[in-house]
Chain A
Amino acid sequence: MGMTIAEKIFTSHLVDEPFAGTRVLKLDVVMCHEITTPIAIDDLMARGKDRVFDPGKIKAVIDHVTPSKDSKTATQAKILRDWARRHAIPDFFDIGANGVCHALFPEKGYIRPGYTVIMGDSHTCTHGAFGAFAAGVGTTDLEVGILKGVCAFREPKTIRINLNGTLPKGVYAKDVILHVIGTLTVNGATDRVMEFRGPVIDAMTMESRMTLCNMAIEAGGTSGICMPDGVTVDYLWPFIEKEYASREAALAAFKKWWSDDDAVYDRVVDIDVSALEPAVTFGYKPDQVKVIGEIAGTPVDQVYLGSCTNGRLEDLRVAAAILKGKKIAPSVRAILSPATPKIYRDALNEGLIAVFMEAGFCVTNPTCGACLGMSNGVLAEGEVCASTTNRNFMGRMGKGGMVHLMSPATSAATAIEGKIADPRKYL
């Protein structure tokens, strides 16, 4: 019987099967940020076990609230910073070099096909875009990962999502994943890996695949995952060129991870994207999704462009193309947070930052801040935000605030009109 990519990764990383159905896996990458790691560090110190299993396999970043906004967040940053120095963790990113973890770490080439990856952050599923098994975990799993380099999972069942057809103009990976979540519902993929397949994926950039896999958790999924192909090889090539004789050789090596043709799936979902329209959430759950025509005209107070979902260069390009030569509506304020320093610099060099600033955007440093209502764009009671982020939970971006999730294109059109707007008329 064939295996899925997730089953192949589990089999190759198996350390122990303490009980039927429970797999303890060896970890290739353990990623840490300053919100969920400090309590793990404190606990390890209290236990007299302030050690790390392999400093080279730990990646750490201060990203959620940076620069620190108060004494408490400064303390969290300091605990992570001191720990990274104490253990000589080479890949630690502080102010000046830091960015949103799920944009920064792929950009550094840390994620490879077939890897097992954990982080104390639910959007770790993003890294499945590279053909890795990448799961968000809590602080205790992170703590054991830091100390022992292992993590326990239930045996993986996989939902295969075939994306067929061609994306219409104005419809992007974000619209696709919102449609998928609307179809599966917020717990339709619980304890499942979401395997994205089909010609739509084959034609997608790594950035778009990351957007897609990023929101697997919003359907309850353990990890999103894509087959590592030529697009993956091209993205990773600067980091792997010494490991493989050629790109073809790298691709051949990556293909061993591909799900077998006779792999067994828990469920197969077929979606033709050709008739999809721009999607926007309503309500307080990410599976509450409308097509643009059903929600256009809803006034907003703030537009937020950024995050691990949609703060990459490709997203900024799409939004800037719509905003070029235009102004945001006087009734809105708009915030752009490029997800990493590299994205910020590339956007500067391409003239995108100038477009945003001339349109009336505030451009902030890379940080998670506003997405979870911690800093840099928190909403007031009763305010509405058009956002390219990933969660619309009640109070998510500030107590009493309302969040509509959408693509960068839709957010740009919305900024211009001051109310939720169809991006297609600007393309």
Chain B
Amino acid sequence: MKSFAGPALFLDRSDINTDEIIPAKYLTEITKQDLRPYILEDLKLPGFDPKGEKTSSARVIVSRANFGCGSSREHAPWVFEVNDINVVIAESFARIFRQNMFNCGMAAIELPKEGLDLLFGYAGCEDAAIAVDIEAQKITANGGGKQHVLSFEISPFDKALVLAGGWVDYADSKY
């Protein structure tokens, strides 16, 4: 199973699309590793720098509603994966992006707005870090001397995909 813990990157906007996560001009790369420098390149948010230290050190992304909408490109989860980000926490996801995350053994975790607002409360902390325990279905947020623990829901199938390391291994053993 992958790691789902570390410094958090807060992207405070809904409807962040896969063109913003990885622009189409990079879809000509043949290996996942080659996508690495282009993470979130076209995302314009106040205070956000795709090339900045906060982006490169991030291991967890926290965002708002309908994250990952648009193109079906799995390059979006892959560009996170090769940057050691294996989990996105959001109010909701676009279906294909969400499935792509779990299919890669990564996690797309949905929280109600109140829970997300609580996590965004850590956005100002320089040391904000989040750990997601998939099996226990718990999120632990730390930063600025505070700590919160939140529970989340995950479908049993999505959980099985994370534990199996993704859909290819799961399907290959079963169908």
Using a CB–CB cutoff of 8 Å, the interface residues on chain A facing chain B are 15-16, 18-22, 24, 35-36, 38-39, 42-43, 47, 49, 64-65, 70, 72-73, 75-76, 79, 120-122, 124, 136-141, 143-144, 147-148, 150, 152, 154, 186-187, 190-191, 220, 222, 285, 372-374, 391, 393-396, 399
Which B residue sits closest to A71, measured CB to CB?
B28
With contacts A138-B73, A141-B167 known, is A19 near B156, CB below 8 A? yes
Q: Are B28 and A396 interface neighbours, CB within 8 A?
A: no
Q: Are A36 and B74 interface neighbours, CB within 8 A?
A: yes
Residues of B within 8 A of A73 (CB): 28
Question: Nearest chain B CB to A73's CB is how many angstroms away?
Answer: 5
Q: Are B172 and A49 interface neighbours, CB within 8 A?
A: yes
Contact with A along B53-70 (1 / 0, CB 8 A): 000000000000110011
B175 partner, pick from A16, A70, A124, A190, beta carbons under 8 A: A16
> What are 24 of the A-B contact pairs (CB < 8 Å)?
A22-B157, A35-B27, A35-B73, A36-B73, A42-B30, A47-B168, A49-B172, A70-B28, A72-B30, A76-B30, A79-B30, A138-B77, A138-B99, A140-B100, A141-B99, A144-B168, A152-B157, A220-B95, A372-B19, A393-B17, A393-B20, A393-B70, A394-B19, A399-B23
Interface residues of B in 32-57 (CB under 8 A from A): 32, 42, 44
B171 close to A (CB within 8 Å): yes
CA distance A64 to B75 in the complex (A): 16
Q: Are A147 and B172 interface neighbours, CB within 8 A?
A: yes
Q: Are B103 and A136 interface neighbours, CB within 8 A?
A: no
Residues of A within 8 A of B157 (CB): 18-19, 21-22, 152
Q: Are B23 and A373 interface neighbours, CB within 8 A?
A: yes
Q: Are A141 and B155 interface neighbours, CB within 8 A?
A: no
Residues of A within 8 A of B23 (CB): 373, 395, 399
CA distance A285 to B174 in the complex (A): 40
CA distance A3 to B74 in the complex (A): 32
- Tell which of B72, B99, B100, B171 has the most Cβ of chain A within 10 Å: B72
Question: Nearest chain B CB to A170's CB is how many angstroms away?
Answer: 29
Q: Are A190 and B94 interface neighbours, CB within 8 A?
A: yes
Given A19-B160, A72-B29, A120-B74, 5 further pairs, Cβ under 8 A: A36-B74, A122-B96, A138-B103, A373-B24, A395-B42
Question: Nearest chain B CB to A370's CB is how many angstroms away?
Answer: 11
B104 close to A (CB within 8 Å): yes
Residues of B within 8 A of A39 (CB): 30-32, 74
B7 close to A (CB within 8 Å): no
Which B residue sits closest to A397, measured CB to CB?
B24
Q: Are B72 and A190 interface neighbours, CB within 8 A?
A: no
CA distance A158 to B123 in the complex (A): 37
CA distance A399 to B26 in the complex (A): 12
A141 partner, pick from B30, B65, B103, B175, beta carbons under 8 A: B103
Residues of B within 8 A of A16 (CB): 174-175
CA distance A137 to B94 in the complex (A): 11
B15 partner, pick from A36, A187, A374, beta carbons under 8 A: A187
Report the number of A-B residue pairs with Cβ-Cβ less than 8 Å.
146
With contacts A19-B155, A49-B172, A152-B167 known, is A122 near B28, CB below 8 A? no
- Tell which of B15, B42, B74 has the most Cβ of chain A within 10 Å: B74
Q: Are B72 and A391 interface neighbours, CB within 8 A?
A: no
CA distance A396 to B25 in the complex (A): 10
CA distance A72 to B24 in the complex (A): 13
Question: Nearest chain A CB to B67's CB is how many angstroms away?
Answer: 10
A-B complex: 5 closest residue pairs judged by Cβ atoms: A138-B100, A138-B74, A140-B103, A187-B66, A72-B28
A137 partner, pick from B29, B70, B99, beta carbons under 8 A: B99
- Tell which of B19, B99, B156, B171 has the most Cβ of chain A within 10 Å: B171
Residues of A within 8 A of B6 (CB): none
With contacts A16-B175, A399-B23 known, is A220 near B66, CB below 8 A? yes
CA distance A281 to B42 in the complex (A): 20
Residues of B within 8 A of A191 (CB): 95
CA distance A187 to B16 in the complex (A): 12
Q: Are B72 and A140 interface neighbours, CB within 8 A?
A: no
CA distance A316 to B94 in the complex (A): 32
CA distance A15 to B96 in the complex (A): 21
Residues of A within 8 A of B72 (CB): 36, 120-122, 124, 136-138
A190 partner, pick from B29, B32, B95, B166, beta carbons under 8 A: B95
Residues of B within 8 A of A373 (CB): 23-25
Q: Are B99 and A395 interface neighbours, CB within 8 A?
A: no
Interface residues of B in 3-27 (CB under 8 A from A): 15, 17, 19-20, 23-25, 27
CA distance A139 to B97 in the complex (A): 11
CA distance A427 to B71 in the complex (A): 35
CA distance A154 to B99 in the complex (A): 10
Interface residues of B in 148-175 (CB under 8 A from A): 155-157, 160, 166-168, 171-172, 174-175
B69 partner, pick from A154, A186, A372, beta carbons under 8 A: A186
Q: Are A18 and B160 interface neighbours, CB within 8 A?
A: yes
Question: Nearest chain B CB to A417's CB is how many angstroms away?
Answer: 29
Residues of A within 8 A of B160 (CB): 18-19
Q: Are B66 and A144 interface neighbours, CB within 8 A?
A: no
CA distance A105 to B70 in the complex (A): 22
B142 close to A (CB within 8 Å): no
Residues of B within 8 A of A396 (CB): 19, 24
